[in-house]
Amino acid sequence: MSSSRKLHLNAFLMNTGHHEASWRHPETEPQRTTDIRYYQQLARIAEDAKLDSLFLADGYVLMGNVKYRASAGLEPFTMLSALASVTERIGLIATVSTTYNEPFHVARMFASLDHISGGRAGWNIVTSSGDATAQNFSLEAHPEHSSRYRRAREFLDVTTSLWDSWADDALVIDRQAGIFADTEKVRPIHFKGDTFSVKGPLNIPRPPQGYPVLVQAGSSENGKDFAARVAEAIFTAQQTIEDAQAFYADVKARMLQYGRSPEQLKVLPGLSPVIADSEWEAQEKEAELHRLTIPEYGLTRLSELLKVDLFEYPLDGPLPYDKIPTVDSINGNKSRFQLVVDMASRENLTIREVILRTAGGRGHLTFAGTAGQAADLIEEWFTNGAADGFNIMPPHLPGSLIDFVQKVVPELQRRGLFRTEYEGRTLRDHLGLSRPANGYWSASG
């Protein structure tokens, strides 16, 4: 590993925090989950710590049982546009599905966000999951897994073509001659594929970054291939350093067949840390959150993920492995399904224990300990081929985010692993990614 290589850290914001009982924690404010001033406060905390970006997950269905969790939230483009106005450097990553949107809309919205923020936009490309989502878009069932990825590949071809439909120097703005733009440098794309037919051009100039940073969050075989082909960062869930190393090596090796180098993709596992001045205190803070967990919510969540009604089985008994389907039959989040099944089997967990192990990170790595111990874990994964950084998932907000940036970030900086100041202004600058050339105008001259 090069000594100049630097760690990347994102703040993954989710209403009151990532622990499913966070809304019951006395230091959270669940009544503010639709208050933009709350998210602006969080954004400033993350930017003050020089984190690479803010990341917002999103879905098109009311997830879980809203009776037991604060699960409603603001739409990402709207929220990130508001956050752009109170920040200057931190990246802004929105999750947008290729299954339930049209390329022109998405290309236009990301170009707008990139212009509004001065080049800080990122797109977490997902294909969505679940029949409940499909039924909000006039469909009975969610499209099949491989067909969703075929659509996603074509969707991305359309959006990048639309961003390239304006040459970087298309704007002339010659008042005396009366010429605003050179129309020879604004072109239709005339895209015709298996799914989409889009004339173009886009009705907004090329984004400051060329393209927003392209992020992917699927870890299935299709997901890894898609990431190797197009992604510049991949969010993943891994429970052990060995699994993380295998994933890291696999996805980076796949890039070679697409003519890409491993440095063009940043692998960022999720990490949900509980930080305190002593290990005992951290474990007590985690236990406090676990005590607030409502088993009915966890049972609903796991039953949906594992495709079996767990309400029929004792909480302190094992998962009904003989009733759980194989991963090949899952038409949703295949990688997360397999991760939870493998974890429960490997560690011989009861249903109650699986609920608690996944309550804080939904399958992402959870941690309770001191800042030094957290930095040790991060450094070990970073320096041993398991990660290029982490997607930090605070268990409760704002407290857990404050603990991380005030205690762990300074320790990582002391070790020379993380920046002390931003060196650039765009998200591509932060991640060490080049600005993509305009494919059309480079080829046509």
* Predicted structure pTM score: 0.91
Give every CB contact of residue 182 below 8 A, 6+ residues apart in sequence. 167, 169, 170, 171, 172
* Spatial contact of 155 and 98, defined as CB atoms under 8 Å apart: yes
* Spatial contact of 266 and 9, defined as CB atoms under 8 Å apart: no
Q: What is the pLDDT of residue 23?
A: 93
Q: What is the pLDDT of residue 343?
A: 82
Q: What is the pLDDT of residue 298?
A: 82
| Residue-wise DSSP of 168-234 | TT-EEEETTTTEEE-GGGB----EE-SS-EE----SSPPPTTSSPEEEE---SHHHHHHHHHH-SEE
Q: What is the pLDDT of residue 1?
A: 37
* Spatial contact of 435 and 164, defined as CB atoms under 8 Å apart: no
* Residue 220 counted as an annotated binding residue: yes
* Residue 145 counted as an annotated binding residue: yes
* Residue 219 counted as an annotated binding residue: yes
Three-state DSSP class for residue 52: coil
Q: Set out the domains of the chain in order of their start, with CATH numbers.
A: 8-279+364-444 (3.20.20.30)
Cβ burial of 317 (10 Å; 0-12, 13-18, 19+) is: exposed
Q: What is the pLDDT of residue 2?
A: 41
* Residue 58 counted as an annotated binding residue: yes
* Residue 440 counted as an annotated binding residue: no
* Spatial contact of 39 and 74, defined as CB atoms under 8 Å apart: yes
- In sequence order, the β-bridge partners of residue 269 are 236
Phi, psi of 128 (to 5 degrees): 65, 175
* Residue 149 counted as an annotated binding residue: yes
Q: Tell me the pLDDT of the chain (445 aa) as tens digits.
A: 345 899 999 999 999 999 989 999 999 999 999 999 999 999 999 999 999 999 998 988 887 678 877 776 899 999 999 999 999 999 999 999 999 999 999 999 999 999 999 999 999 999 987 888 889 989 888 888 788 889 999 999 999 999 999 999 999 999 999 999 999 999 999 999 999 999 999 999 999 999 999 999 877 888 899 899 999 999 998 989 999 999 999 999 999 999 999 999 999 999 999 999 999 999 999 999 999 988 888 888 888 888 888 888 888 988 888 888 887 776 666 677 887 888 888 888 898 888 888 887 787 899 999 999 999 999 999 999 999 999 999 999 999 999 999 999 999 999 999 999 999 999 999 999 999 999 776 555 4
Q: Considering all CA atoms of the chain, what is the largest pairwise distance in Å, rounded to the nearest integer?
A: 79
